[in-house]
Structure 1
Amino acid sequence: MIGFLIGKLHAKQPPLLLVNVNGVGYEVEAPMSTFYALGAEGSDVTLLTHMHVREDAMLLFGFATEHERALFKELIKVNGVGAKMALAILSSMSVQDFVFAVDAANSAGLTKIPGVGKKTADRLVIEMRDRLKNWALMFAANGKPLSLVSQGASVAPIQTLGQVQRSAINALESLGYKTAQAESMIGDIDAEGLTLEALIKKALQAVKV
C-alpha cells in the first residue's frame, strides 16, 4: 500500500492531481480542502494517501491532513457512500464542521451536499455519531488537524477568466453538482483575479450546510 507521496506538483485540475515522485507520475484524486493547501504547479508537495482497490481500477486518494484521510476512510465504510461522495463531503465542509453536524444530528444540513439525500444523511448520522464522538470532544476543546502540506501563497491565475470559470464548473460537476447548478454557483461570483481554487472555494462557501 502507498501511505504517502513526497514529490513535485506536476499538474492540478480538481479533483485530480499529478505528482512527480522521482520521475514517476502518480494520479491522485483529492478533496478541495487539500487543493486549497497546495502551492503552485512545480512546488514541493507531501500528501497522505489512501489506495482504493476496485474490481476494475486501483485509485489513489490524497489528503493534506491525517484527519481528512481518517474521515474519508470512515465515510466509505458507510453503506451507500462511495469514494466520490466522500470527496464531495470533504470538499463541501471541513472535518470539524462535519463532525459537529453528525454530533448534532443535523441530517438536514448534510442533504445540501451534492449526492447526499435524506436517507443517506440519516444513515451518516446514525452510523457515524458514535464513531466520531471522540472527534467531537477533541474539536470542542479546540483541537486542530495536523497539516502535512505547507500553505502555498496565492498564485496569479495563468488562465483566462473564461477558462477559469469553465474549469471551476467542471470541478463542481465532478463533485456531484448538476451542470445548471454549477453554472449558477460560478455565475454568481465576481471571478476576476481569482485562482481556480479560490473561485471553487467561494462557490462552495456560498452553499450553507
Structure 2
Amino acid sequence: MVGPVVGMLLGVLDAVVNHVPEMLGEGGTASAERGGWSHAAEFAGLILDAGWAWAATAVLAGWWVSRHARVAAGMVRGALAGGVALGFATTSYYGADLLLEGSAWSGVAPRFWLIASVLLGPPLGVVGASIGLPGPAGVVAALVVPAGAALQTTVLPPPAASVMAEPVRWSVWTAAVVAAVLVAGRSRNRSAVTSPASAGRGPLGG
C-alpha cells in the first residue's frame, strides 16, 4: 500500500500548492509582490515539481517495502513499489489539476509522464531496496537521491524570477550535504561493528 499512498500524496500536494496563488487571487501577481502563503506554496512547489523529488518518492517506496525482505524478494518488491508510486503520483497530479483548474486530461504531457513513470519507477524502486545492502552498494544507493537533488539544483536551478529560487537552492544543497554526512556516518558505524577486530573481542575486551 505504501506505493499508492506516497504517490497520491506527492501528486495531490504538488498540484494543490501550484494552485495556491490562484486560490488567493494572486495568480497574475509578480512573485515578489505575493503574500506569505503564496511564497510558502511557491517554495513547496519548486521542490515538489523537481524531478529529484519524484525520484525520491519511488526510492522511498522501494526502501520501505523491502526493509524486512530477503535480497531477491526485496528487489522485486522495490521495483513494483517504485513503479506504482510514480504511476499513482502522475495520475493523482493530473487528476487533482483537473479538479482544481477544470482543464481536460489531454495532450502529450500526461501520457509522456505516465510512460516515464512506468519506465523509471521500477529501477528507482530497486535503488531504494538496495539501501539496506551492506558495503559500497548500500552507500551508493543511499546517496542517489541527495546527489541527484544537488546536481539538478545546480544544473537546472529554480527560475530566477521566483523570490523563492535562492531559498530553495540553499535548502536543497544543505539537505543534500546533511544527508551525505549521515550516510557516511552510518556506513562508518556499520564498518566498525562488522570489522574483524571488533568481532574478535569478547565482553572483557580480550
| TM-score class, shorter | under 0.3
TM-score normalised according to structure 1 size: 0.25
TM-score normalised according to structure 2 size: 0.25
- From the two aligned structures, give the one with the greater helix fraction: 2
Larger radius of gyration: 2
